[in-house]
Amino acid sequence: MAGSIAASAFFPGSPAPAPAAPKNSLGERPVSLDVRGVAAKPGSSSGAVRAGKTRANAAVPKVNGGKSALADGEHETVHSSVPKTFYNQLPDWSMLLAAITTIFLAAEKQWTLLDWKPKRPDMLSDTFGFGRIIHDGLMFRQNFSIRSYEIGADRTASIETLMNHLQETALNHVKTAGLLGDGFGSTPEMSKRDLFWVVSQMQAIVERYPCWGDTVEVDTWVGAHGKNGMRRDWHIRDSMTGHTILKATSKWVMMNKVTRKLARIPDEVRTEIEPYFFERSAIVDEDNRKLPKLPEDQSTTAAKYLRTGLTPRWADLDINQHVNNVKYIGWILESAPISILENHELASIVLDYKRECGRDSVLQSHTTVHTDCTSESGETILNCEHLLSLVSGPTMVKARTMWRPKRTNTQETVISPIL
């Protein structure tokens, strides 16, 4: 016994015979079971044969770095021994079932997203579209959602944000109507003649300022202004309540892109734009919120403020290579005292553009504050005169603004949409 054990230690290729399985009560040996628990046939010993062949192949050297000489013959024998039936040629049903399950789960997820109901109905509004033509093709409407980066220190949208919405709807109106040439708001006939629009005057009356998350609805339309100009009006409402947020009107003239001088409207251009004229005013003469006349005597009621060294950045220039008209508003308010900005909000503004501003201009902002005006509700209204000019002297923009005390429920208005 000891000798056989020692021999097996040095010669592993000749293992000791396995002990015989005990017989059952009938004198028969137990039926062998495979890994699935199914009784294997007595004559079926393919598993043991394959295991022995595997061990034998391991001892056979490979020829020319490839498979062993015996391996190819063995594989051919194994494959040829398996009968080709219809079932064996079918695909793996488990993989097919897994693919079908994945498709159904993805479809269910998409359906859940479509059936999703937001807590705020205004979240379903189309805030990313280019708007649409309404009122028999004479008016353009577009929605905007107030972003977090468009609000100021008082948690409401700034006047520059609202003015940018006005400009965006004006350009999208031209684009949607099919009148956009290769310029910035220029029609095809204007582009042929190197003409583009410039704003000469603008007036805006702000009823209230929207908050972060609010959706505003902007309507705009155009009309004739004299013999050589065009008028554009806007009306901004709250898309949920329909309450007015802002009304604005503006006057536009043409400028030659090469000579930088004002030009008359060609007949071809007039033919393009006249079918879209809509004789309707956003700010009527009977509006009692119209800017009051400033007192002539400014000796005792006026305070003057000055801010110098204002220069345009590269980002302030538009496609026409001059400063965007909204940027002037920011420069005008640069000279307003901080006490007004902290305790009052801009109720209205009138802008009179005198000349364009280039990228190399250096400007200064003047503000004169008047404090002797009182509104109908008894609130003290501040009226300011503004002058934006080059350091060398020429006037760029004249403006008048009216300021009312900030409302106490501003913070409550901001927090409520977030809940």
pLDDT tens, residue by residue, 298-320: 444 567 899 999 999 988 888 77
Cα separation of 143 and 131, whole Å?
7
CB 291 within 8 A of CB 400: yes
Which pLDDT does position 234 carry in this prediction?
A: 97
pLDDT bracket for residue 77 (50, 70, 90) = very low
The number of C-alpha atoms within 13 Å of 293 and in the hemisphere containing its C-beta is: 3
pLDDT tens-digit readout, 151-171: 988 889 999 999 999 999 999
- In this predicted structure, the answer to whether residue 89 has a pLDDT above a threshold of 90 is no
**Model confidence at 51, in pLDDT bands (50, 70, 90)?**
very low
Please tell me the least confidently modeled range out of 87-101, 191-205, 374-388: 87-101
Please identify which residue in the block is written with the tokens 């000489």: 69
Helix (H) or strand (E) holding 8: helix 2-10
Q: Is the pLDDT of residue 130 over 50?
A: yes
Beta bridge partners of 280: none
Average pLDDT value over all residues in the chain: 75
Residue 195 and residue 344: Cα distance in Å, rounded?
Answer: 40
Quickly count: other Cβ atoms within 10 Å of residue 24's Cβ: 10
Which pairing describes strands 262-263 and 244-256: parallel, antiparallel, or unpaired? Answer: antiparallel
| pLDDT given at position 4 | 47
Helices (H) and strands (E) in the chain, counts: 11, 12
- Active site residue: 143, 357, 370, 383, which one? 357
Q: For a pLDDT cut of 90, what percent of the chain falls above it?
A: 43
The catalytic position among 320, 324, 325, 383 is 320
pLDDT value at position 107?
A: 80
The question of whether 135 is a catalytic residue gets the answer no
The DSSP result for 284-301, as a single string, is: -TT-TTSPPPPPS--TTT
**CA Rg, the chain, in Å?**
42
Residues 6+ apart with CB under 8 A from 186: 180, 195, 196, 197
Quick check: 53 pLDDT over 90? no
Give residue 287's pLDDT. Answer: 46
Query: Distances in Å between the alpha carbon of 44 and those of 49, 75, 76, 280?
Result: 10, 19, 19, 97
Q: Is the model's pLDDT at 85 over the cut of 70? A: no
The model's pLDDT over 105-117, given as tens digits with 9 standing for 90+, comes to 888 767 655 554 4
* pLDDT 10s digits, 349-396: 999 999 888 888 999 999 999 876 666 666 788 999 999 999 988 899
Higher-pLDDT residue of 296 and 233 is: 233
Per-residue pLDDT tens over the stretch 211-260: 999 999 999 999 999 888 999 999 999 999 999 999 999 999 999 989 98
Write down the pLDDT at residue 84: 62
Q: How far is CA 90 from the centre of its chain?
A: 50
Catalytic position from the list 322, 366, 370, 386: 322
**CA distances (Å), origin 227, targets 192, 202, 252, 265, 340:** 21, 18, 12, 8, 40
Cα(230)–Cα(53) distance, integer angstroms? 95
Reply yes or no on whether the pLDDT at 35 is more than 70: no
Q: What pLDDT, on a 0 to 100 scale, did the predictor assign at position 401?
A: 94
Known active-site residue 79: no
Q: Catalytic site residue 357?
A: yes
In terms of pTM, does the model score above 0.85?
no
pLDDT at 387: 93
- Does residue 206 sit in helix, strand or coil? strand
At 246, phi and psi to the nearest 5? -155, 145
The sign of the CA dihedral 116, 119, 125, 127 is: negative
